[in-house]
Homo-oligomer: A and B are copies of this chain.
Amino acid sequence: MVSDHTHSPDNDDFPQEINGLRMTRQRKEVYRCLMEHRVHPTAQDVFLEVKDKLPQISLATVYNCLEALTQHGIIRQVHFDRESCRYCPNLLDHGHFHDQATGKIHDVTFKPGVKLEDVLDLPPGTVVSNIELTLRGTIAS
């Protein structure tokens, strides 16, 4: 990994640090990949994409980057059954709809003003720290 002392093209307009996490070249590219395409890729998908920019990157490093970004609340994991994890840079409360016809995954938001407590029969005193909502189906044309 040859580094340029003066003005590397990766020093773009990109912040050097997010949420206290140092944004290395690898982390920047991984994050940029998620932000640009927003298709909820797997680690493998990200790996193939990022290799264009950083040919020497390894899959393990992609996993490391995704883990670091996740731990610092910059992105989130998305799970579909036991398939490979997918990653999402949308930090707003939302669920995921898997279109079984196209294979695409769409973000799904709650209608404005909706709170889970209004809708679910939770035991009194329940404090919910995390929600994962996954839908599957099709979209009629």
Contacts and interface: CB of A to CB of B under 8 A. Distances in A.
The contact size tier of chain A is 35 or more
Contact of A137 (B81, B95, B111, B128): B128
Contacts of A136: 128-131
Query: How many identical chains are in the complex?
Result: 2
Contacts of A134: 131-134
A74 interface: no
B100 A110 contact: no
Interface string A120-131: 111101111111
Interface in A35-51: none
B81 A100 contact: no
Contact of A119 (B106, B114, B121): B114
A128 B139 contact: no
